[in-house]
Amino acid sequence: MPAEAGLAPARGLPILEMRGIRKVYGSGGTAVHALAGVDLTIRAGEFVAVMGPSGSGKSTCMNLLGCLDVPSAGEYRFCGVPVAGLSRDALALLRRHYMGFVFQSFNLLPRITALDNVALPLVYAGEGRERRRRRAMATLTSVGLAQRAMATSSQLSGGQQQRVAIARALVTEPPLLLADEPTGNLDTARAEEIMGLLAALRADRDITIVMVTHEPDIAAHADRVLYFVDGRLTRDGTPAEVLT
């Protein structure tokens, strides 16, 4: 089972691979071809931005990368393992142990503290209470929020809430972070703050980051930009190559 196999590719080796990926919603004359034959490889340690106009397929691609959806055709490999051959339970374990998710809307539970929000994935992983709290506090400290550990969501700014969400995504120490518009609800200053944090965490933890964004200024922080149009990957290169 992948979640028990110690999957952790060395930096520079493929962590995500798609070959001929298609995704079709519906059938017949009303079918929507969200992805139309996508080939891509993302290597361990990369920071990749995914861009494109509304309806281009970028969010569909991210859902497939995060094993939140399945392709209609083609092959997706995570750390060399064909995802199509995994059971529902194995997919859940893969997401739990190897992927961290960050969303535009933070998705924090409002009535519990920042510390308990961060510790939540460890509850599902079966960690004991004291170990959960130690790991959650260490991760909050890594995002600069140790002093706000006992605050609830309503007592935190938008930037602080996103830091808590990032800490929650990283508390299980996954090799992959998938971020969907992580700065979409933040002002310019807080957005730059979050991008600086992601860059620092990536260097410190040597993780792979794949981030959907519609903002060129945010995508410019990445090493590489994937640009989708009408379900096809039309551009793939450095921010200078793709965004100019």
For residue 232, the enclosing domain spans 14-243
- pLDDT greater than 80 at residue 170: yes
The count of C-alpha atoms lying within 13 angstroms of the C-alpha of 30, restricted to the half-sphere facing its C-beta, is 1
9 lies in a domain? no
d(CA 176, CA 164): 17
pLDDT tens digits, residue range 182-195? Answer: 998 899 999 999 99
Counting residues of the chain whose pLDDT is more than 90, the rounded percentage is 80
pLDDT of residue 5: 46
4 burial type by CB count under 10 A (0-12 exposed, 13-18 middle, 19+ buried): exposed
Please, what is the average pLDDT of the chain?
92
d(CA 40, CA 73): 15
- Between 24 and 4, name the one with better pLDDT: 24
Confidence of residue 3 (pLDDT cuts 50, 70, 90): very low
The number of folded domains in the chain is 1
pLDDT of residue 20: 97
85 lies in a domain? yes
Q: Cα angle vertex 129, ends 68, 6, to 5°? A: 45
pLDDT of residue 7: 67
pLDDT tens digits, residue range 32-73? Answer: 999 999 999 999 999 999 999 999 999 999 999 999 999 999
Q: Which of 49, 66, 149 is nearest to 100 (CA)?
A: 66
DSSP single-letter state for residue 9: P
The CATH number covering residue 120 comes to 3.40.50.300
pLDDT of residue 244: 83
7 lies in a domain? no
106 lies in a domain? yes
pLDDT of residue 105: 86
pLDDT tens digits, residue range 84-140? Answer: 989 999 999 899 889 999 988 889 999 999 999 999 999 988 889 999 999 999 999
90 lies in a domain? yes
3 lies in a domain? no
Are the beta carbons of 116 and 148 closer than 8 angstroms? no
